[in-house]
Amino acid sequence: MSDYIDIEHKGTAQHFECQVIGYPTPTIRWFKDDVEITNCDRIVIGFDEATGIVTLAIKNLVPTDEGCYQCRAENSEGYATTTAYLVVTELPRLHKSLASEIVNARDEEEGKKEGEKGVELDFRSIPKF
């Protein structure tokens, strides 16, 4: 994971991944806005020591997930970090309402019996954003 900005939509998931190489095997910690992150129901942190692949998965993004994420690998020889900024946006919503308009109403219509009423409707779909 190199320093970058990632834009994701609210309700989706985000997956960060980087590779760590170090001896002795480093301790891995993740931070969001300088606060350490731990595993919970929406956040899963992984580290495969054999490959050095480090992961951070965030499920069901919410606006408060937006921020600066940092992976920090540290051992007795030193440390290394990499960062990414996550932007969480709302998914565009398409609101649609059905509007109707009477375009022609008359008491008598060709082919109608006397006393029957005729009504014509023109339905138009009007999207509202």
Summarize pLDDT for 97-114 with one digit per residue, the tens.
Answer: 433 333 333 444 445 455
Domain 4-89 of CATH type 2.60.40.10: yes
Q: Which residues contact 37 (CB under 8 A, 6 or more apart)?
A: 30, 31, 43, 45, 56, 69
pTM of this structure? 0.65
Pairing of strands 67-75, 27-32: antiparallel
SS3 59: coil
Is the pLDDT confidence value at 89 over 70?
yes
Summarize pLDDT for 26-75 with one digit per residue, the tens.
Answer: 999 999 999 999 999 999 999 998 999 999 999 999 999 999 999 999 99
Location of each CATH 2.60.40.10 domain in the chain: 4-89
What tokens appear for 40 in the block? 């919970």
- Whether the Cβ atoms of residue 10 and residue 62 lie closer than 8 Å to each other: yes
